[in-house]
Amino acid sequence: MNQELQSEIDHVRELLTERSASLVNKQSIFKAIELKALYDRIPDIPLQSRASFGQAVNQLRKEIQNLIDQTEPKQENVSSIDVSAPFTPNCPVDKRPRLISSQLGSQHPLMIELDQILNIFTSMGFYIVESREIDDDWHMFTSLNFPEDHPARDDYDTFMTIERDEQNKPWIGPAHTSSMQNRILSEHKDDLIKNLPIAAVIPGRVFRNEDVDSRHEHTFYQLEGIYVSSHVSIGNLLATLKAFLERYYNRSIEVKTQPFYFPFTEPSLEIIMSCPFCSKTGCRICSFTGWIELLGCGQIHPNVLKLAGINSPDYQGFAWGVGIERLVMIKYAIEDIRLFESGRLDFLRQFSIKDNR
């Protein structure tokens, strides 16, 4: 190969070496038109020099590759990629996915309603304590006067972990918000001595191994209420719940009771209310009976007070637990509880305050 051809290759080497230093994507140097021009020339080189010219161009390509390999950071030094990020910050703006504006979102209907429900109870003097989503046997059962191995424990279709706690009991996805009672009673018992009542409402998510249908969900919300003071009667319980229901449904409501059984209340009751939809004339919502079985409640069992360190002859209390979905379904004539967790926009948008399309 003559001197002229060699200096052509040397010239391209110089150019590409310099240029590759400033490139972010180093491999793109192989698309350089100067390199391509050298390859394009091969067929036109006189036969006696063609092979050596071709080898020299290939050699140049290798040299540049080596140069890149030396200057590029090694794989282990490359910073890790967050694969959950919606796009890389370096990708061009028009390649980024369109994110839904937060203005198009809205609160979930259950949370909108829960706000209203809590407002009613706080205006009545109750404070709010949030429930939790994993609990233990003591809070779910034992502190609520469920004897060990009592069949009433089976009523709750409880999800439990295989893993065991220090008492060698499984952890529990709480099946009711009553599992918060012992914590609140123990924490606030000294208020009673100061003549202050214990008055708490406890919203929370609960879990049951239910066969799911239009009325049953494995995951749903409850609102627990507890009130303890001296001279508390079932009359106070009924008046409190009636006042709440009348404000929530914004009409006058009749309540009646029927006996029930819960280990943690004595007596235990079920509250039945007049149908807020038809005012007892009978409709779909009340299955044409005029009445709706709404919630469980009762006078707190003396053992539950004792287990929280409260002297039961001196103090009494009432408690209740109600399904929040149930309250909301009655208010809006929603027929299928599964809609709440479905994520269906056509359902959710009907409750959207910001965006009523």
Interacting residues with ligand DAH (CB under 6 A) = 176, 178, 224, 262, 264-265, 296-298, 319-321
Q: In the complex with ligand DAH, which residue's Cβ is closer, 266 or 341? A: 266
The minimum distance between CB 214 and ligand DAH, in angstroms, equals 19
The minimum distance between CB 164 and ligand DAH, in angstroms, equals 24
Q: Exposure pattern of 147-160 as b/e (b: 16+ CB <10 Å)? A: eeeeeebeebebbe
The minimum distance between CB 163 and ligand DAH, in angstroms, equals 24
H/E segment holding residue 244: helix 234-249
CA-CA distances (angstroms) from residue 79 to 24, 43, 69, 75, 282? 15, 44, 18, 9, 67
Q: In the complex with ligand DAH, which residue's Cβ is closer, 1 or 201? A: 201
Report helix, strand or coil for 310: coil
The minimum distance between CB 191 and ligand DAH, in angstroms, equals 19
Q: In the complex with ligand DAH, which residue's Cβ is closer, 153 or 349? A: 153
DSSP 114-165: HHHHHHHHHHTT-EE----S-B-HHHHTGGGT--TT-GGGGGG--EEEEEE-
CB neighbours of 60 closer than 8 A, spacing ≥ 6?
9, 12, 13, 16, 35, 38
The minimum distance between CB 145 and ligand DAH, in angstroms, equals 11
Residue nearest to ligand DAH (CB): 321
| Residue 5 in tokens | 């051809």
The minimum distance between CB 227 and ligand DAH, in angstroms, equals 10
Q: In the complex with ligand DAH, which residue's Cβ is closer, 145 or 274? A: 145
| Residue tagged 């020339």 (tokens) | 41
Q: In the complex with ligand DAH, which residue's Cβ is closer, 13 or 301? A: 301
The answer to whether 118 and 201 are in contact (CB under 8 A) is: yes
Q: In the complex with ligand DAH, which residue's Cβ is closer, 29 or 324? A: 324
